[in-house]
């Protein structure tokens, strides 16, 4: 009966099956993504084969839209302002990912006796990380923190790099297959470069236009409509122009993240209300397309590429983060969260399949590539969920008292000879990282005026100067840590090692007092927190101290009862 069913009926059944499969595996302590993929495998060509292939193929636009929306969310995490303190580790991660991982895969494939052009394609493909899987895991585990921010930024950069590298590898392999005597020169880069430039310009211009159009729009329904239209427009134009839809939507998200302070509202308004259905459609259909029979084709090569890629991801993350001086949680767990591989990888594999010149390479590339993707999508969500839980970010996507002190609002090399100089530096950080619609000089004058009336040096190395923001704004702050200590006038004669500048609107005075009490309790009376915070080697380390589970006594979740005592 289903073989005569309308595509809309099939779509509804796919959504229901995906939601049920995800709910079941979550109850068993396994990622919901895994359940949706398994349900798709069971219902698709590798299992019961309940749905006609033509009807499933008709749902391709839904999959394209889902992937575009997910890419928009991933690109939205490449906010240069928020990533100010993460640039070194993200840069080193990207460098390691585009060298170590593909090099391992390339060497292993060539050593196994396969053509170097095939090895080159597998090597480029290995850089990708599944954006949809990672976004789904972050959403499912309600994760937030330095680990999640680094993971999302890395996923976006991985996929941009993968698309660029694979385009070059494809052109090289195409040229060699067309004419083995053809010279391999700079001219080969022109077509991939054109496609990348067109995708970047398409996403960037659409993002700028969306910001301009929605500048005066405040209703969330209209923002959601504009966002959905922009994703459809960019995806459709990318496919019409034969460039990467994923890259164009990633750049769209990046443009929104960096051109408007309302990025979260614009992006999330398009995603939050349909998130569960989008994930159910995308991953269930992905499972239906997976062919477990491909696991037997070139079985040794499948295992070889799978292991080499996983080893490359783990080694790249560990080495890059150690060089960047990242925290222990990042070094230990980030590599595991980068194992999932789908979305962009499948799209690039199909690109080679459609190339008639690549007939000698594409069958093995497709069968082995899809088998590796299948393994990574079965194992990756389990490892990714484990990494998010062990990192401490899982369950942290809830409002906390000192939520405004993100990594980008913290500096750990504060140096100043006077209190006024230290305050001025932190006001600049506060203005720069929060995009405040407030006059910098007026805010600085407000903080200094209050400080002249009464010193906010509490003793025990803590000072909390504060100023006034316009009514209706939200409390913001910036923290500066000095290992050597600032030689300021303090009640106990000790130097100031931690200064927090707060800017608070009049309507949040109660929260202001709660924050002051929390800071005084943590730094002023807890010697363990004080010692760790004063010795923080990086803003990420300081953030982890303030938002660790042990800190819930003072930095409590606002939907919980505050700790007493």
With left for phi above 0 and alpha for psi between -120 and 50, is residue 13 left, alpha or beta? alpha
Tell me if 101 sits within 8 A of 309, measured CB to CB.
yes
Residues 6 or more apart whose Cβ sits within 8 Å of residue 53: 45
pLDDT at 266 exceeding the cut of 70: no
d(Cα 478, Cα 434) in Å, to the nearest integer? 10
Tell me if 154 sits within 8 A of 335, measured CB to CB.
no
Q: Which of 153, 147, 145 is nearest to 398 (CA)?
A: 145
d(Cα 506, Cα 512) in Å, to the nearest integer? 9
**pLDDT score of 88:** 86
Give the model's confidence band at 96: pLDDT under 50 very low, under 70 low, under 90 confident, else very high: very high
Ramachandran angles phi, psi of 502, nearest 5°: -110, 145
Ramachandran angles phi, psi of 356, nearest 5°: -65, -25
Give the model's confidence band at 522: pLDDT under 50 very low, under 70 low, under 90 confident, else very high: confident
Exposure of 20 by Cβ count < 10 A (0-12 exposed, 13-18 middle, 19+ buried)?
Answer: middle
**pLDDT score of 323:** 92
d(Cα 205, Cα 262) in Å, to the nearest integer? 17
**pLDDT score of 181:** 47
d(Cα 493, Cα 95) in Å, to the nearest integer? 47
d(Cα 224, Cα 271) in Å, to the nearest integer? 8
Give the model's confidence band at 321: pLDDT under 50 very low, under 70 low, under 90 confident, else very high: very high
Name beta bridge partners: 241. Answer: none
Residues 6 or more apart whose Cβ sits within 8 Å of residue 452: none
Q: Which of 229-233, 278-282, 389-393 has the lowest mean pLDDT?
A: 278-282
List, by residue range, all CATH 1.20.1530.20 domains of the chain.
62-289+296-391
Give the pLDDT mean for 313-319: 94
Give the pLDDT mean for 314-325: 93
Architecture of domain 407-553: 3-Layer(aba) Sandwich (3.40)
pLDDT digits (tens, 9 = 90+) for 415-441: 888 888 888 888 888 888 777 767 778
Q: Of the spans 96-110, 399-413, 430-444, which averages the highest pLDDT?
A: 96-110
Give the pLDDT mean for 287-313: 78
List, by residue range, all CATH 3.40.930.10 domains of the chain.
407-553
Tell me if 488 sits within 8 A of 498, measured CB to CB.
no
Name beta bridge partners: 468. Answer: 504
Model confidence pTM above 0.85: no
Exposure of 217 by Cβ count < 10 A (0-12 exposed, 13-18 middle, 19+ buried)?
Answer: middle
d(Cα 111, Cα 114) in Å, to the nearest integer? 7
Give the pLDDT mean for 153-178: 82
**pLDDT score of 264:** 53
d(Cα 228, Cα 532) in Å, to the nearest integer? 45
- Residues 508-536 as b/e (b if ≥16 CB within 10 A, e otherwise) read beebbebbbebbbbbbbebeebbebbbeb
Give the pLDDT mean for 373-389: 87
pLDDT at 212 exceeding the cut of 90: no
Choice between 34 and 203, residue whose per-residue pLDDT is larger: 203
Pairing type for strands 476-486 and 410-411 reads parallel
Between helices 299-323 and 362-391, what is the axis angle to 10°? Answer: 40
Q: Which two tokens stand for residue 234?
A: 């960019």
Architecture of domain 62-289+296-391: Up-down Bundle (1.20)
pLDDT at 183 exceeding the cut of 70: no
Q: What is the mean pLDDT of the chain?
A: 80
Name beta bridge partners: 457. Answer: 463
Pairing type for strands 466-469 and 476-486 reads unpaired
């Amino acid at each position: 009966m289903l073989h005569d069913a309308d595509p809309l009926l099939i779509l509804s059944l796919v959504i229901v099956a995906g939601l049920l499969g995800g709910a079941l595996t979550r109850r068993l302590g396994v990622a919901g993504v895994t359940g949706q993929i398994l349900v798709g495998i069971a219902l698709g060509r590798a299992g019961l084969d309940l749905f006609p292939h033509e009807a499933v193929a008709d749902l391709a636009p839904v999959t394209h839209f889902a992937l575009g929306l997910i890419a928009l969310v991933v690109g939205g995490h490449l906010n240069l302002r928020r990533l100010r303190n993460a640039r070194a580790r993200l840069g080193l991660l990207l460098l390691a990912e585009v060298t170590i991982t593909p090099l391992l895969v390339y060497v292993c494939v060539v050593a196994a006796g396969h053509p170097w052009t095939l090895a080159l394609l597998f090597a480029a493909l290995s850089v990708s990380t599944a954006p949809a899987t990672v976004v789904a895991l972050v959403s499912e585990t309600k994760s937030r923190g330095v680990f999640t921010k680094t993971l999302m930024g890395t996923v976006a950069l991985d996929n941009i790099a993968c698309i660029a590298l694979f385009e070059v590898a494809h052109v090289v392999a195409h040229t060699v297959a067309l004419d083995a005597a053809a010279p391999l020169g700079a001219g080969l880069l022109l077509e991939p470069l054109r496609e990348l430039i067109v995708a970047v310009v398409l996403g960037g211009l659409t993002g700028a236009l969306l910001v301009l159009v929605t500048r005066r729009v405040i209703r969330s329904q209209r923002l959601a409509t504009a966002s959905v239209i922009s994703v459809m427009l960019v995806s459709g134009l990318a496919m019409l122009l034969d460039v990467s839809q994923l890259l164009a939507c990633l750049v769209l998200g990046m443009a929104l993240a960096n051109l408007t302070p309302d990025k979260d509202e614009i992006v999330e308004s398009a995603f939050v209300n349909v998130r569960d259905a989008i994930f159910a459609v995308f991953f269930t259909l992905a499972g239906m397309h997976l062919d477990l029979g491909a696991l037997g084709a070139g079985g040794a090569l499948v295992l070889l590429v799978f292991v080499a890629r996983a080893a490359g991801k783990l080694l790249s993350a560990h080495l890059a983060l150690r060089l960047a001086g990242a925290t222990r949680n990042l070094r230990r767990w980030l590599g595991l969260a980068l194992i999932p591989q789908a979305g962009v990888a499948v799209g690039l594999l199909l690109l080679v399949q459609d190339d008639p010149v690549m007939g000698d390479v594409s069958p093995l590339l497709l069968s082995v590539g899809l088998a590796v993707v299948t393994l990574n999508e079965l194992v990756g969500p389990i490892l990714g969920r484990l990494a998010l839980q062990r990192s401490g970010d899982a369950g942290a996507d809830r409002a906390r008292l000192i939520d405004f002190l993100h990594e980008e609002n913290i500096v750990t090399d504060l140096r100043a000879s006077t209190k006024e100089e230290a305050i001025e530096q932190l006001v600049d950080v506060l203005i720069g990282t929060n995009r405040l619609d407030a006059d910098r000089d007026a805010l600085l004058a407000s903080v200094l005026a209050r400080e002249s009336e009464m010193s906010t040096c509490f003793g025990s190395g803590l000072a909390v100067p504060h100023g006034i923001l316009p009514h209706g704004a939200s409390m913001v702050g910036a923290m500066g840590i000095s290992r050597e200590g600032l030689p300021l006038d303090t009640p106990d004669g000790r130097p100031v090692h931690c200064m927090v500048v707060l800017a608070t609107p009049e309507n949040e005075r109660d929260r202001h007092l709660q924050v002051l009490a929390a800071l005084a309790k943590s730094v002023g009376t807890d010697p363990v927190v004080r010692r760790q915070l004063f010795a923080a080697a990086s803003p990420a380390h300081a953030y982890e101290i303030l938002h660790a589970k042990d800190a819930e006594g003072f930095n409590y979740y606002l939907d919980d009862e505050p700790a007493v005592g």
